[in-house]
């Protein structure tokens, strides 16, 4: 019988605790499927005395995750601390240097340092796996790198942050403004310690950066992703989009176009009846389109103890089976240098603005748009009180550069109050 696969688990928060429970609860099942017993040799966390409702008897303890990564009785270092720098980065580097396999749920670390870590892991002939870093319990990393390996991927899109989807869904369901639902999400513990990581789109963009690398065979490049959060989405936007048959989602979209890849994380309108439009609460969904498979949709819980720990354990079982594959689906040294392009694919845009309620104002708006090459599909003016009128415009297909010029022109018409709000319409 094969020797046990010995884990060193760094981080005993929600996910780390969930992993310990899976190892203890499903030991026989894991052994049957992986072909080896999986045991925990030692753990590491910030506080040794904290009550975690876990049985840690028989497990070693390290105060320093780097020391844990180097222990002789650890075969797989499981990094569940989080953070793109500091102890997480140092301990993962130490584990690879010591010839240990690594499993992590740390999207920030991989989005910033994934290529260097992949080169090091592949040179050391150890696994570096990260299914839990993207979309929680949804096996999207495995799907892209293994099941869809024979496809030329044309587009990847999805909802990758459950907190933002909860906020936008709740705004629609309850008719509540963004500020109220934001406070609800905070009280429920849905938000990161720094809320801008969630509502600012940064957390989701980290995940998109990893998917782009696998889907398009590129080095991970986080700073090449256009990012806009949901802070400017108002309850009026939610209602008016619904009135036209759309829902607003924080959507990550990556597609190959021309000589590069367009990658962005931003609020978008999606058809209400589409899988993404129907996505409720804190659920995640990723849609992949390929030349052979056409389109597949993966949906599931994007966070939480059980789903994320399940994804971590899936990676561990693969290592128990001696499956050591390239980190991003192909050898890291063959990954292409990323070329990012902005808005090469024309799409309709939703445009909301407030204009002066006087004769000729709408004509000036239409003229500014037309001069920039933006054609109006439909326009609505809602009930209002003088002297300002809210106006909603849906454009025909246009590229962002033309819309940017149009918005600059609107600013000097003398009839537009404040900054217009523009969201892309993404057909699914």
User: Which whole-number Å values give the CA distances from 196 to 166, 280, 283, 299, in the listed order?
Assistant: 15, 22, 19, 25
Residue 316 CB contacts under 8 Å (≥ 6 apart), including other chains: 5, 7, 30, 34, 38, 76, 78, 103
What span, in angstroms and rounded, lies between the C-alpha atoms of 182 and 47?
30
What span, in angstroms and rounded, lies between the C-alpha atoms of 110 and 123?
17
Which of 100, 107, 207, 221 is catalytic? The answer is 207
Annotated active-site residue 50? The verdict is: no
DSSP-derived 3-state class of residue 100 = coil
* DSSP track, 238-300: HHHHHHTTEEEEEEEEEEEETTEEEEEEEEEEEETTSTTTT--TTEEEEEEEETTTEEEEEEE
User: Which whole-number Å values give the CA distances from 169 to 111, 206, 231, 243, 377, in the listed order?
Assistant: 28, 22, 14, 15, 27
What span, in angstroms and rounded, lies between the C-alpha atoms of 117 and 103?
12
User: How far, rounded to the nearest angstrom, does the alpha carbon of residue 6 sit from its chain's CA centroid?
Assistant: 30
Q: Which helix (H) or strand (E) holds 233?
A: none
- Write out the two tokens for 63: 């105060």
Ranges assigned E (strand) in 121-238 = 128-129, 153-159, 226-227
Question: Around Cβ 294, how many Cβ atoms within 10 Å?
Answer: 10
Phi, psi for residue 283 in degrees, rounded to 5: -75, 150
Query: Are 207 and 302 a contacting pair, CB within 8 Å?
Result: no
- Active site (catalytic) residues: 207
């Amino acid at each position: 019988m094969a020797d046990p696969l010995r884990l060193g688990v760094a981080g005993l928060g929600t996910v780390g605790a969930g992993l310990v429970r899976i190892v203890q609860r499903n030991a026989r099942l894991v052994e049957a499927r992986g072909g080896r017993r999986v045991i925990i040799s030692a753990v590491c966390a910030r506080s040794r005395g904290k009550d975690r409702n876990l049985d840690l008897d028989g497990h070693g303890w390290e105060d320093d995750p780097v020391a844990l990564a180097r222990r002789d009785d650890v075969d797989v270092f499981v990094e569940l601390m989080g953070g793109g720098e500091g102890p997480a980065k140092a301990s993962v580097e130490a584990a690879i240097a010591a010839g240990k396999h690594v499993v992590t749920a740390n999207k920030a670390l991989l989005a910033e340092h994934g290529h260097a870590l992949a080169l090091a892991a592949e040179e050391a002939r150890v696994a570096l796996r990260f299914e839990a870093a993207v979309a929680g319990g949804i096996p999207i990393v495995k799907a892209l790198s293994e099941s869809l390996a024979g496809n030329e991927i044309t587009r990847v899109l999805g909802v990758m942050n459950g907190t933002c989807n909860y906020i936008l869904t709740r705004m629609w369901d309850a008719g509540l403004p963004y500020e109220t639902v934001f406070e609800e999400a905070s009280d429920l513990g849905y938000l990161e310690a720094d809320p801008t990581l969630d509502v600012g789109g940064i957390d989701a963009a980290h995940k998109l950066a990893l998917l782009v690398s696998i889907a398009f065979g590129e080095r991970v490049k986080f700073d090449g992703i256009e990012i806009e959060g949901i802070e400017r989405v108002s309850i009026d936007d939610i209602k008016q989009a619904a009135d036209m048959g759309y829902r607003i989602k924080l959507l990550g979209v990556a597609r190959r176009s021309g000589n590069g890849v367009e990658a962005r994380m931003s609020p978008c309108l999606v058809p209400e009846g589409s899988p993404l439009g129907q996505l409720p609460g804190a659920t995640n969904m990723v849609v992949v389109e390929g030349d052979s498979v056409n389109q597949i949709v993966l949906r599931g819980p994007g966070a939480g103890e059980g789903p994320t720990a399940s994804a971590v354990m899936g990676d561990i079982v693969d290592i128990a089976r001696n499956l050591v594959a390239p980190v991003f689906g192909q050898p890291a040294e063959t990954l292409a240098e990323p070329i990012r392009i902005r808005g090469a694919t024309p799409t309709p845009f939703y445009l909301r603005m407030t204009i002066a309620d006087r004769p000729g104002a709408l004509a000036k708006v239409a003229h500014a748009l037309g001069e920039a090459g933006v054609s109006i599909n439909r326009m609505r003016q809602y009930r209002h009180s003088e002297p300002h009128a809210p106006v909603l415009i849906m454009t025909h297909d246009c590229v962002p550069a033309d819309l940017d010029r149009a918005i600059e022109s609107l600013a000097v018409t003398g009839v537009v109050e404040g900054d217009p709000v523009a969201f892309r319409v993404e057909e699914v």
